[in-house]
Amino acid sequence: AELHMVVSDAYQRHGLGTEMLSRLRAIGGEEGIQRMIARILRTNQDMITVAEQFGFTIHDTETGDVLTSVLQL
């Protein structure tokens, strides 16, 4: 599964992204999804940190401004 998530500036740093990612991971597991892939802007250190906390591995990409993160469920 590939996921994209956007949290408006006004709602950032309130745990909304963490909650959505938690629910997506749970639903993915229930649905038999084996791997989640998220693309994260290199400058979005907060989301990189959240992804790492969830167990995503972060991979560099050739595009330069986007990282690929992968979570095996």
Q: Which phi and psi angles does 32 have, rounded to 5°?
A: 85, 15
Q: Is the pTM of this model over 0.85?
A: no
Q: Is the pLDDT at 61 greater than 80, yes or no?
A: no
Distance from C-alpha of 7 to C-alpha of 57, rounded to nearest angstrom: 22
The backbone torsions φ and ψ at residue 69, rounded to the nearest 5 degrees and listed phi first, read -120, 140
- pLDDT band at residue 64, thresholds of 50, 70 and 90? confident
pLDDT of residue 6: 87
Determine the residue type at 53: Q
Residues 1-51 have pLDDT tens digits of 887 888 898 998 999 989 999 999 999 999 999 999 998 999 999 899 999
